[in-house]
Amino acid sequence: MGGSKMDIRTKVSSRKATTKQKIIYALIAVFIVLVPVIFQGIGQLFLVRIMGVVGLYVMLALGLNIVVGFAGLLDLGYIAFYAMGAYVGVIVGDVMLKTFGASFGPWVYFASLPIAALAAAATGIALGTPVLRLRGDYLAIVTLGFGEIVRILITNDVFGLTNGPAGLPRSGQSIPEPFGLLWLREHAVFSIGDNFNFQFSNNLYWYFIAVLLCLLTIFVVRRLDDSRLGRSWTAMREDEVAAASVGINITTAKLWAFSLGAVWGGVAGLTFANFQQFVSPESFTFMESVFVVCIVVLGGMGSIPGAIIGAIAIQGIPELIRGLAQSGILPLDPGQASLVSNYRYLVFGLVMVIMMAVRPQGIWPSARRAMELHPDDEKIQNEESQSLWEAEHKTDTADHDL
Amino acid sequence: MLKVENLHTHYGQIEALKGISLEVNDGEIVTLIGANGAGKSTTLKTISGQLAPTEGTVSLDGEVVSGMLAHKVTEKGIIQVPEGRRIFPRMTVAENLEMGAFLRKDAEGIKEDLEQVFTLFPRLKERINQKGGTLSGGEQQMLAMGRGIMARPKLLMLDEPSMGLAPVVVETIFEIIERLNKEGITILLVEQNAAMALSVAHRGYVLEVGSIALEGPGKELLHNEQVRKTYLGES
């Protein structure tokens, strides 16, 4: 049965790509590179911007996926790590600029990236430690409060570091341009005909950075999923007592989940701050945390393609509608345009409700969750229903074989 | 092997264990019987590190393990098969067994033990790719015990293995307990089903509201008048 001999090394899904998959990956890669270039060339800059933002949300969703999807800890304050990464990165970057002088400018982003990641991880442990004993709805409420605390601290200019609601950088200061952007802007310029004038832009730069970071995240998350730590998260998600009784250290497993999840929040946060050239507390409201949770749930918990699709659906499409309305591509007057951008949340809420009723495993569920909800092997399905039937009828068939 | 001395455990203000002392020797089956709320499961949970004692010690081969967290106690070789089975419902049978060997690195030994589990429980082999949650109650109990065996325990603690199972299944489970013991696994067994437990155990302890009321060889307790009246329902 199952074909495997006595070896029980189980794998959730095979990782070897078939030729067909390779072609699909190649097509996706071409799409990812060419489409924003085309948008840039035809002057639809807001589309490039949206793609960059979607990239950041993919990263956030993959990070939160570690906490919610893998470890099963519902975190409603995830955006706090995004904020930590953004603020710590910008503040540290400013210090670097003052210490090493303006010539260090191009390196500031890259040098502050690990610091932002570490700061977020530390925040993750700071949140994780007091909530170790909490589960489910209690945990959700505490994390929600935590997210708000971080936002309120920032708004109130804690230790004089954050400049309150006015945000960073302060007037007269700026976030330096990263390495290569200036060169690319001057040299990566070309035209095809009259209507296609490409010039490399700030948006495009950060879009590609986001894509690279997403690839890195995907690589790490896949490795985590197959790792010992990944397996202990699955066990912990299913039954904490049983997990501890097979020798899993629940404390460290939870803290790893919180801190590793937070790292990607922090990295995305700093990238966001650079992308925007500005951070303020209003980017880190509770609604943002909710969006990220929605992306994870809508896409499919624990699933990497799910996170990407979820980010496009939840962050990309509403922004796209708003962008199209505002840029005049859709034939709407400004009043109608703002109406559309307000209604997007209504549609969005409706979609979520329908999704949860119709397809609770998400748009693109992870192999494990799909297996949990729809075992595809008919033989296994039959066995399962048989043993369920036996379990139900156990009392009247005292002499059945074991 | 296992020595429990003067164990006190509290749930908040309530003292659930009022100074329990017991011993399990190498190669024995020792059972803990008693009525609901006598503290059987609490004793087991305290030994396994799920609860911390307020007083007293638990030691394994001379090493104090009380106060350690549950996963540390598991590392020491005390494996609990928890009450209500608590298998991983969404993992397959194979994955559940694999989880049992979580702390082990010896691939060969793991394979051997897997063979043993499948010899003891052929039903599990048939169900190898099925999710734990879809097994029948008896199969789940077998899986939980199999998962315990996969850890290669020094001491295997079974918490109410007969709970909610049909009589014929209970008999099989107890046969397997005896077989495991013959193969060298020391067992501490907590049971409501006193008659069954005492008939397989070398020694037994009778718990009453947090203290040990009686102790002695299994067969002796089985014929003890007080035990017969209170736990075996004879008048």
Which residues have a Cβ under 8 Å from the Cβ of A110 and sit 6 or more positions away? A178, A179
The verdict on A372 touching B (C-beta cutoff 8 Å) is yes
**ipTM of this complex prediction, to 2 decimal places:** 0.88
**Residue B103: closest CA among chain A residues belongs to which residue?**
A247
Query: Which pLDDT tens digit goes with each residue over A147-186?
Result: 999 999 999 998 888 898 888 888 888 888 889 888 888 8
How many Cβ atoms sit within 10 Å of the Cβ of residue B48?
Answer: 26
Strands B211-217 and B203-208, bridge-based pairing: antiparallel
For residues A17-54, b (16+ Cβ closer than 10 Å) or e, as one string?
Answer: eeeeeeeeeeeeeeebeeebbebbbeebbbbbbbbbbb
Separation of alpha carbons A131 and B72, rounded Å: 21
Q: Where are the domains of chain A?
A: 20-283
Query: Is residue A380 less than 8 Å (CB to CB) from chain B?
Result: yes
Dump pLDDT digits (tens) for A274-305.
999 999 999 999 989 988 998 998 888 888 88
Three state DSSP letters for chain A: CCCCCCCCCCCCCCCCCCHHHHHHHHHHHHHHHHHHHHHHHCCCHHHHHHHHHHHHHHHHHHHHHHHHHHCCCCCCCCHHHHHHHHHHHHHHHHHHHHHHCHHHHHHHHHHHHHHHHHHHHHHHHHHHCCCCCCCHHHHHHHHHHHHHHHHHHHHCCHHHCCCHHHCECCCCCCCCCCCCHHHHHHHCEEEECCCEEEECCHHHHHHHHHHHHHHHHHHHHHHHHHCHHHHHHHHHHHCHHHHHHCCCCHHHHHHHHHHHHHHHHHHHHHHHHHHHCCECHHHHCHHHHHHHHHHHHHHCCCCHHHHHHHHHHHHHHHHHHHHHHHHCCCCCCHHHHHHHHHHHHHHHHHHHHHHHHHCCCCCCCCHHHHHHHCCCCHHHHHHHHHHHHHHHHHHHCCCCCC
- What's the predicted TM-score (pTM) here? 0.85
pLDDT confidence tier of residue A382, bands split at 50, 70 and 90: low
Q: Which of A241, A371, A377 sits opposite B50 (nearest CB)?
A: A241
Q: What percent of chain A has pLDDT over 70?
A: 86
Contacts of B74 in chain A (CB under 8 A): 244-247
The answer to whether A391 faces chain B, any CB pair under 8 Å, is yes
Is any Cβ of chain A less than 8 angstroms from the Cβ of B14? no
A2 pLDDT higher than 60: no
Domains of chain B: 1-77+192-235 (3.40.50.300)
